[in-house]
Amino acid sequence: MTFELVLVLAAGLFCVGLFGALSQQSIVMIMMGIELMIGGIIVAAAAFWHFLAPVAASGQVVVVAAVVAMAVEMALGFAVTTAIYRARRVDTTDMAEDLKG
């Protein structure tokens, strides 16, 4: 695979995630779109590391740290979403407007 092809893949993932995050009203679907966007960023970062500095191990550390942060973010997001749903039966962003203040 070439560098350009991997970056096109990363841009495609990011664009699909952006469309999903902006077009959905379900909190879970928005979180899935955000995860796709973060996945695209991770793929781009891994491509830059692999093609520009393959001997440096710091790129691998950054990619692994980003994947771990993504997993933690999703776990916390789903926990908050589950807690809100159990407390008030809110599962869309329109219904969540009354939660502020």
pLDDT tens readout for residues 42-61: 999 999 999 988 888 888 88
Residue 16 belongs to some domain of the structure: yes
Q: What is the CATH number of the domain that holds 13?
A: 1.10.287.3510
**Nearest to 58, CA basis, from 71, 68, 45:** 45
Residue 43 belongs to some domain of the structure = yes
Global pTM reads: 0.82
Q: Domain range for residue 21? A: 3-89
User: What is the count of structural domains for the chain?
Assistant: 1
59 within 8 A of 50, measured Cβ to Cβ: yes
Q: What is the pLDDT of residue 21?
A: 93
Virtual CA dihedral for 55, 60, 63, 67, nearest 10 degrees? Answer: 160
In a domain, 42, yes or no: yes
Question: What's the pLDDT band for 18 if we cut at 50, 70, 90?
Answer: very high
CA dihedral 34, 40, 42, 47 (to 10 degrees): -170
